[in-house]
Amino acid sequence: MTPLLAAENLVKSFSVSTGWGKPKRFYAVDTVSLSVERGRTLAVVGESGCGKSTVGSLLLRLQDPDSGSIRLDGEDAMALDSNGLRRFRRRVQVVFQDPFASLDPRERIREVLVRPMLLHRLCDRPEALKRAAALMEAVGLSAEQLDRFPHQFSGGQRQRVAIARALSVQPDLIVCDEPVSALDVSVQAQVVNLLQDLQRDTGVAFIFISHDLAVVRHLAHDVAVMYSGRIVEQAPTRELFDNPRHPYTRALLAAAPRVEIQRKSHVLLTGEPPDPTNCIAGCRFAARCPYVQDRCTQEEPPLVPVDAAHLSACFFARTLPQVETLPDTLPGTSASARMAAYRRARDRQTQQAEDI
Amino acid sequence: MTTAPASHSLIRRLVEDSRSAFGMALVSILVLAAVFGPVLSSYAPDAADFMATLAPPSADHFLGTDDLGRDVLSRILSGARVSLLVGVISVGGAVLVGLPIGLVAGYLGGRTDAVLMRCMDVLLAFPGILLALGITAALGASLTNTIIAIAVINTPTIARVTRAQTMLVSSLDYVKANRALGFSNLTIMTRSVLPNALSPVLVQASLLLASSIITESYLSFLGLGVQPPTPTWGSMLRDAISFIDQATWLAWFPGAAIFLTVLGFNIFGDGLRDRLDPRD
Q: What is the pLDDT of residues A51-105, one digit of tens each?
A: 888 999 999 999 889 999 999 988 888 888 888 899 999 999 999 988 888 898 8
Q: Which residues of A touch B173 (CB under 8 A)?
A: 96-98, 101-102
How many interchain CB pairs under 8 A, A with B? Answer: 59
Can you name the residues that pair with A223 across neighbouring β-strands?
Answer: A43, A235
User: At residue A183, does pLDDT exceed 60?
Assistant: yes
Q: How far is A341 from chain B (nearest CA, A)?
A: 35
SS3 content of chain A, % helix, strand, coil (to 5): 40, 20, 40
User: At residue B68, does pLDDT exceed 80?
Assistant: no
Quick one: average pLDDT of B50-69? 70
Quick one: average pLDDT of B183-203? 88
Quick one: average pLDDT of A278-295? 80
Are A256 and A75 in contact by the 8 Å Cβ rule? The answer is: no
Give residue A323's pLDDT: 62
Helices and strands per DSSP (H, E), number in chain A: 10, 12
Cα angle, residue B279 at apex, residues B278 and B280 outer, rounded to 5°: 90
Closest by Cβ to B180, choosing from A94, A147, A151: A94
Q: Which residues of A touch B177 (CB under 8 A)?
A: 94, 96, 102, 162, 165
Q: Which residue has the higher pLDDT, A263 or B274?
A: B274
CA distances from B271 to A209, B7, B8, B14 (A): 43, 14, 16, 7
Give residue A47's pLDDT: 84
Residue B19 located in a structural domain: no
Residue B159 located in a structural domain: yes
CA distances from B249 to A322, B178, B261, B262 (A): 95, 60, 18, 20
Quick one: average pLDDT of A7-17? 86
Residues 6 or more apart in contact with residue A274 via CB below 8 angstroms: A228, A280, A284, A287
Average pLDDT, chain B: 82
Least confident piece of the model among A266-270, B20-24, B73-77, B216-220 = A266-270
What's the alpha-carbon Rg for chain A, to the nearest Å?
A: 22
d(CA A234, CA A36): 12
Single-letter amino acid, residue A303: L
What's the residue count for chain A?
356
Closest by Cβ to B181, choosing from A101, A105, A119: A119
Q: How far is A96 from chain B (nearest CA, A)?
A: 7
Going by the DSSP 8-state scheme, the letter that residue A5 receives in this structure is: E
Residue B170 located in a structural domain: yes
Going by the DSSP 8-state scheme, the letter that residue A334 receives in this structure is: -
Cα angle, residue B17 at apex, residues B13 and B19 outer, rounded to 5°: 140
**Side-chain-side CA neighbours of residue A120 (13 Å):** 25
Q: Which residues of B touch A81 (CB under 8 A)?
A: none
Buried b (16+ CB within 10 A) or exposed e, B131-143: bbbebbeeeebeb
A101 to B192: CB separation less than 8 angstroms, yes or no: no
Residues 6 or more apart in contact with residue B168 via CB below 8 angstroms: B197
* CB-count burial class (<10 Å; 0-12, 13-18, 19+) for A79: exposed
**Is the bond preceding A331 in cis, omega lying within 30 degrees of 0?**
no
**How many percent of chain B have pLDDT more than 70?**
88
Q: Which residues of A touch B165 (CB under 8 A)?
A: none
d(CA A311, CA A240): 10
A120 to B5: CB separation less than 8 angstroms, yes or no: no
Q: Which residue has the higher pLDDT, A24 or A244?
A: A244
Give residue A333's pLDDT: 45
A149 to B177: CB separation less than 8 angstroms, yes or no: no
Give residue B268's pLDDT: 82
- Strands A173-177 and A205-210, by their bridges, are parallel
Q: How confident is the model at residue A287 (pLDDT cuts 50, 70, 90)?
A: confident
Q: How confident is the model at residue A335 (pLDDT cuts 50, 70, 90)?
A: low
Cα angle, residue B211 at apex, residues B210 and B216 outer, rounded to 5°: 105
Residues 6 or more apart in contact with residue A243 via CB below 8 angstroms: A235, A310
Chain B residue at shortest CA distance from A145 = B1
d(CA A21, CA B43): 72
Q: How confident is the model at residue A341 (pLDDT cuts 50, 70, 90)?
A: low
- Residue A120 near chain B (CB below 8 Å): yes
Give residue A36's pLDDT: 92
Q: How confident is the model at residue A205 (pLDDT cuts 50, 70, 90)?
A: very high
Give residue A330's pLDDT: 44
Long-range contacts of A141-148 (CB under 8 A, 24+ apart): A145/A109, A146/A108, A146/A109, A146/A110, A146/A113, A147/A108, A147/A109, A147/A110, A147/B2, A148/A108, A148/A109, A148/B1
- Residue A300 near chain B (CB below 8 Å): no
Give residue A329's pLDDT: 43
d(CA B77, CA B232): 9
Total number of domains in chain B = 1
- Residue B176 near chain A (CB below 8 Å): yes
Give residue A288's pLDDT: 82
> CA torsion sign, B190 to B193 to B195 to B200?
negative
Residue B228 located in a structural domain: yes
d(CA A189, CA A140): 13
Closest by Cβ to A119, choosing from B3, B174, B182: B182
Quick one: average pLDDT of A220-249? 90
Cα angle, residue B52 at apex, residues B50 and B53 outer, rounded to 5°: 75
Quick one: average pLDDT of A238-260? 81
Q: Give the DSSP H/E element, type plus range, for residue A82.
A: helix A82-91
Least confident piece of the model among A18-22, A141-145, A193-197 = A18-22
Residue B5 located in a structural domain: no
What's the residue count for chain B?
280
Does the ipTM exceed 0.85? Answer: no
Residue B54 located in a structural domain: no
Closest by Cβ to A101, choosing from B1, B174, B182: B174
Residue B207 located in a structural domain: yes
Give residue A338's pLDDT: 58
A62 to B176: CB separation less than 8 angstroms, yes or no: yes
d(CA B143, CA A157): 56
Q: How confident is the model at residue A166 (pLDDT cuts 50, 70, 90)?
A: very high
d(CA A98, CA A235): 28
Residue B51 located in a structural domain: no
Task: Report residue A260 CA to chain centroid gap.
Answer: 25
Give residue B8's pLDDT: 54
d(CA A102, CA A116): 15
CATH number at residue B89: 1.10.3720.10
Q: How far is B195 from chain A (nearest CA, A)?
A: 8
Q: How confident is the model at residue A175 (pLDDT cuts 50, 70, 90)?
A: very high
User: What does the pLDDT look like over B107-128, one tens digit per residue?
Assistant: 998 899 999 999 998 888 888 8
Residue A94, Ramachandran bin (φ over 0: left; ψ between -120 and 50: alpha; else beta): beta
User: At residue A297, does pLDDT exceed 90?
Assistant: no
Are B244 and B251 in contact by the 8 Å Cβ rule? The answer is: yes
Closest Cα to residue A268, out of A256, A283, A259? A256
List the domain range (segments joined by +) for residue B200. 26-37+61-276
User: At residue B92, does pLDDT exceed 90?
Assistant: yes
